[in-house]
Structure 1
Amino acid sequence: MHTGLFDAIDYAKDGKFSDHLSIPFSVDRSPYFHVKIPICRIHNGDGPRVLLMAGNHGDEYEGEICLARLIRRLAADSIRGALTILPFANHAAVMAARRRSPLDDGNLNRAFPGAANGTPTARLAFFLEHELFPQHDVVFDLHSGGTSMAHLPTGLIEEHGDPERHRRALALLRALRLPHGFVARNGADAPTSMAAAARAGAIGISGEFGGGGTVTPQTMALTAMAINNLLVATGLMATGPLPTAATASSTRLLQLSSYDQATYATRRGWFEPAVDIGAEVSAGDVAGWYHDFQRLDETEETLRFQVGGIVMSRRLHTDSEAGDCLVQVGRFLDA
């Protein structure tokens, strides 16, 4: 099948291979230009088939750094089965330190199932959903809050209509041994990588590991621990390969299923949060204050949480516009 994307990797061959996914994309300065996306394939006999990817959004760095390190550390005899590593999926966005691709303004995690004859982002999404994801049993897509959001480190799965598939995804979510995990309700037709993985027949698992367009020792340690634990839980490796100081814990499950769990700006203003990520709140508690620097005679607006739970994310940029998500709460799944 021609997807407008090609690579030279033989996915059935044993060994460790590094190459690029290539997307032809003519630009003014280079009519035969190819978008080059690094990919590593490690194969050693029969066993589980796992895809690790990061850089779905370019400004989310924990996964990108950990997967780049993992490529350097692993040899073919380190695993039993097949491991594909895509450390910078939206490579142009990574290089530009942007959430979306500078080539076509494409948001890869809103582009699935893609189009074989579309823009570079659409063609990449099409290749992933129709060719790469179906070759794997598990797809682990690592995220963080990006430049504008702080996010509580959490694992993530999306709800499945198939009870057995949901049970397996939930087991992997718990196997990450992160303090929190959440279950999102986006639907089978969602344009996300997790919905695409399900449509391709794989178990999709994801996570948000930090934010702010930076990394910290804590977020790096938690990301490395989650990768290690996933590789062990799938049976691909006996021990985790990445160094980490994180301590494993039992996972408290959250759910994200309705828009009333988020507080949005409805006009231009300046957001002052009352609580930070990780805080437990109740409906009616103060979420923050919204200021209008252009009308100093107006008292700041008090914002209140509509539901109780734990603060999962908050906006880092004080200056906000209508439509910006200011703060988001995860409901406790066992509540």
Structure 2
Amino acid sequence: MSQTPIRTKIDFDKPGTQWGTLNIPFSYNLSGWSQLQIPISTIAHGEGPTVLLMAGNHGDEYPGQIAIMKLMQSLKLEQISGRIIFIPAINIPAAKAATRLSPIDGKNLNRCFPGDADGTVSEIMAHYLTHEIFPLVEVVIDLHTGGRGVYFYPCAHMHLVENLEQRRRMALATEAYNTDFAFLYADIAGKGLLPVEAENMGKTVVTTEMGGGEVTTAPVHQVSQAGLRNVLVHLKVLQGEEKCRTDLGLPPTRWVQALNAEDYIFAPESGLFESFVDVGSEVSEGQPLGALYFLERPDRKPSIIEANSNGIAIAHRGPTLTSQGDIVFCLAHDVEEQVLKTFQ
């Protein structure tokens, strides 16, 4: 196996607070000795778990990036029991370009795992996380939104892993985000996911989908930031009193899932998409969810998108301009009681 070309001055075994960069050799401008520099920070103090906290896996997903930057600037060393590794924008070229994919190599970092030390920039980063960072940590927190393409009801989510002890740890950490919905999702778009690589190594993996689109409202920022702190308190790496939803005067988190391919509804043709229902709404089988209109045929009746089952609209298309094959709705369903019992 090739050794990573990434270099950093961060000493992951050193206590205290460190700020630095992950440096990837890459000639992307006029200099042959250029580097792509990814900011990274660590805070280590006392005994406790090691948590990897990152966002910007997809560049156009910003609430998590802001939440991590605010958190890393505000924490004091004595508040930590263990170690936190902060990478607020793991795909910084995409974050700067407001794109989902890396503008350097055109790749989706979230589909590059376990990576390749001799590959492209995204593959090198995936390899580094897999072989250098994941072995150091017990917990991986990877913060997402739907980006510019999809709008999610803000939620924490996870995979339904087979190992029941790992599943329980993940479910309790997911609930600690205190979102209205906790979402179990399936991999319908291929392999190579970052969360799956970490799950396969036995890590407690917590991910989010905090809205999406160009606009992030104040409430979404608030739930993203407050939830993140509460998860770290739950994990006992950050001092404080864990808050559950009843402490906040809220009903319990509702667990929903979209584990079948039929739960994901795609545009049958290109057009302008109008949503008829908001995310978080209950829908019935056969109910019209939205319509596609046709710029070049304004005389043509719109194509109606219908629900193929009862469920909850957990996500829908973000931009109005829609291409054939774009997802227009994801319908989630309540998690069965026997599955919920495995979370306790």
Using structure 1 for the length normalisation, give the TM-score.
0.94
Match of 1:94 in 2: 95
Q: How does 1:3-18 map to 2 (within 5 A)?
A: 3-18=4-19
Asked if the contact 1:148–1:213 (Cα under 8 Å) also holds between the matched residues in 2, the reply is: no
Match of 2:275 in 1: 273
Give the whole-Å Cα distance in 2 for the aligned partners of 1:247 and 1:42. Answer: 33
Deviates more, 1:261-270 or 1:115-124: 261-270
Deviation track 1:277-309 (CA, whole Å, cap 9, x = no partner) reads 111111111111122232233221221011221
Match of 2:43 in 1: 42
1:307 is paired with a residue whose SS is coil
Is 1:198 the counterpart of 2:203 in the alignment? Answer: no
Is 1:254 the counterpart of 2:256 in the alignment? Answer: yes
**Cα deviation, residue 183, structure 1:** 1.2
**CA 1:289/1:175 → structure 2, altered by over 3 Å: closer, same or farther?**
same
Q: How does 1:161-200 map to 2 (within 5 A)?
A: 161-186=162-187, 190-200=191-201
**Cα deviation, residue 249, structure 1:** 4.8
1:311 to 310, 313, 319: 313
Q: Which amino acid aligns with 1:279?
A: S
Aligned pair count reads: 330
Deviation track 1:6-44 (CA, whole Å, cap 9, x = no partner) reads 212111111000000111112351211111000010001
Q: Which amino acid aligns with 1:96?
A: A
Q: Which amino acid aligns with 1:288?
A: G
Unaligned runs of 5+ in 1: none
Deviates more, 1:65-74 or 1:231-240: 231-240
Q: Which runs of 4+ in 1 moved over 6 A?
A: none
Asked if the contact 1:174–1:250 (Cα under 8 Å) also holds between the matched residues in 2, the reply is: no
**Cα deviation, residue 180, structure 1:** 0.5
**CA 1:16/1:118 → structure 2, altered by over 3 Å: closer, same or farther?**
same
**C-alpha root-mean-square deviation of aligned residues, in Å?**
1.9
1:59 is paired with a residue whose SS is coil
Match of 1:145 in 2: 146
Give the whole-Å Cα distance in 1 for the aligned partners of 2:42 and 2:79. Answer: 13
**Cα deviation, residue 212, structure 1:** 0.7
Give the whole-Å Cα distance in 2 for the aligned partners of 1:267 and 1:248. Answer: 41
**CA 1:194/1:57 → structure 2, altered by over 3 Å: closer, same or farther?**
same
**Cα deviation, residue 232, structure 1:** 0.7
Unaligned runs of 5+ in 2: 243-247, 338-344
1:229 is paired with a residue whose SS is helix
Asked if the contact 1:228–1:239 (Cα under 8 Å) also holds between the matched residues in 2, the reply is: no
Give the whole-Å Cα distance in 2 for the aligned partners of 1:163 and 1:279. Answer: 31
Give the whole-Å Cα distance in 2 for the aligned partners of 1:253 and 1:180. Answer: 6
Give the whole-Å Cα distance in 2 for the aligned partners of 1:265 and 1:163. Answer: 36
Deviation track 1:72-128 (CA, whole Å, cap 9, x = no partner) reads 111222201011111011011111111111111121111111111110101001111
Deviates more, 1:62-71 or 1:190-199: 190-199
Q: Which amino acid aligns with 1:67?
A: I
Asked if the contact 1:64–1:87 (Cα under 8 Å) also holds between the matched residues in 2, the reply is: yes
Deviates more, 1:24-33 or 1:213-222: 24-33
Asked if the contact 2:50–2:138 (Cα under 8 Å) also holds between the matched residues in 1, the reply is: yes
Give the whole-Å Cα distance in 2 for the aligned partners of 1:201 and 1:272. Answer: 42
**Cα deviation, residue 273, structure 1:** 1.0
Give the whole-Å Cα distance in 2 for the aligned partners of 1:173 and 1:274. Answer: 30
Give the whole-Å Cα distance in 1 for the aligned partners of 2:29 and 2:73. Answer: 35
Asked if the contact 1:134–1:201 (Cα under 8 Å) also holds between the matched residues in 2, the reply is: no
**CA 1:215/1:273 → structure 2, altered by over 3 Å: closer, same or farther?**
same
Give the whole-Å Cα distance in 2 for the aligned partners of 1:234 and 1:8. Answer: 27
Match of 2:336 in 1: 334
Give the whole-Å Cα distance in 2 for the aligned partners of 1:25 and 1:208. Answer: 31
Match of 1:76 in 2: 77
Match of 2:110 in 1: 109
Asked if the contact 2:81–2:239 (Cα under 8 Å) also holds between the matched residues in 1, the reply is: no
Match of 2:160 in 1: 159
Match of 1:209 in 2: 210
Q: Which amino acid aligns with 1:72?
A: Q
Give the whole-Å Cα distance in 2 for the aligned partners of 1:33 and 1:247. Answer: 52
**Cα deviation, residue 324, structure 1:** 0.7
Match of 1:320 in 2: 322
In percent, how many aligned pairs have the same letter? 32
Give the whole-Å Cα distance in 2 for the aligned partners of 1:300 and 1:16. Answer: 57
Give the whole-Å Cα distance in 2 for the aligned partners of 1:305 and 1:157. Answer: 24
